[in-house]
Amino acid sequence: MKNFLLKLSLIVVLLLSIRTVSANVSLVVLGDSLSAGYGLSSEQTWVAELDNRWQKTHPNFNIINASISGETTTGGLRRLEGILQRHQPDALFIELGGNDGLRGFNLNTVRSNLKQIIDKARAENVEVALSQVMVPPNYGQRFAQQFTDLYKEVAEQEDVRLIPFFMEPLIEESSDYVQDDGIHPTAEAQPKIADFLEPYLLDLMQKAK
């Protein structure tokens, strides 16, 4: 009887531990300075803000910020394999392309890079969401529209969720949310970005569970 109870206890403990491990869901944010927090500390970024919230509301959700200021889609693609191996995420949020657009990179290259990032992540059974990215209209209306449309095309062709560009409502709401360079969000904008992205990323995390 004692042996039976001991074995039963061990089985229960094992099942609980397996359940706990399987319940943990991790998200990697693969972005540029908009997510890395240009001019801010890492604790001030929208990623850190959302991670702090989820520690209270969704303690089994974990966010890894793999964003680098100045990153391009080419750089993100180059780093992706190492990121996937190191963190083994369940979900990936891609926020890349702004620097490609600002530097006038070939749109076909941007398109190809984004598709390869998505395909490589999916090959590892990672749920993917793509952020819409826009360039300022002073780069020319035609180029700006082509750049915007590129993301819609990639999302449709790859069948991934396209999340609206989180900077657009901030710029429309107040100039206080944008740094003097007219591109990067301020510290005050970070909670707003977290508010905007949270429902989309929660949906992504639920799919990745």
Determine which one of 26, 32, 67, 184 is catalytic: 184
Any domain includes 201: yes
Check residue 45 and report its DSSP letter: S
Given this model, what pLDDT does residue 137 score? 86
CA neighbor of 117 nearest in space, from 104, 100, 102: 100
5 three-class SS: helix
Catalytic-residue membership of 195: no
Any domain includes 12: no
Catalytic-residue membership of 131: no
Spell out the per-residue pLDDT of the chain, length 209, in tens.
555 444 545 444 444 444 444 469 999 999 999 999 999 999 999 999 999 999 999 999 999 999 999 999 999 999 999 999 999 999 999 999 999 999 999 999 999 999 999 999 999 999 999 999 999 888 899 999 999 999 999 999 999 999 999 999 988 888 899 999 989 999 999 999 999 999 999 999 999 98
Any domain includes 19: no
Any domain includes 17: no
Determine which one of 159, 176, 180, 181 is catalytic: 181
CA neighbor of 110 nearest in space, from 99, 93, 120, 97: 97
CA neighbor of 102 nearest in space, from 192, 42, 191, 38: 38
pTM > 0.85: yes
Which range of residues forms the domain containing residue 178?
24-208
Any domain includes 53: yes
Domain count, the chain: 1
Determine which one of 26, 32, 33, 67 is catalytic: 33
Cβ atoms of 121 and 84 within 8 Å: the answer is: yes
Catalytic-residue membership of 119: no
Any domain includes 98: yes
Any domain includes 13: no
Given this model, what pLDDT does residue 3 score? 57
Where residue 118 sits, what CATH number does that domain have?
3.40.50.1110
Any domain includes 159: yes
Cβ atoms of 120 and 83 within 8 Å: the answer is: no
Given this model, what pLDDT does residue 175 score? 86
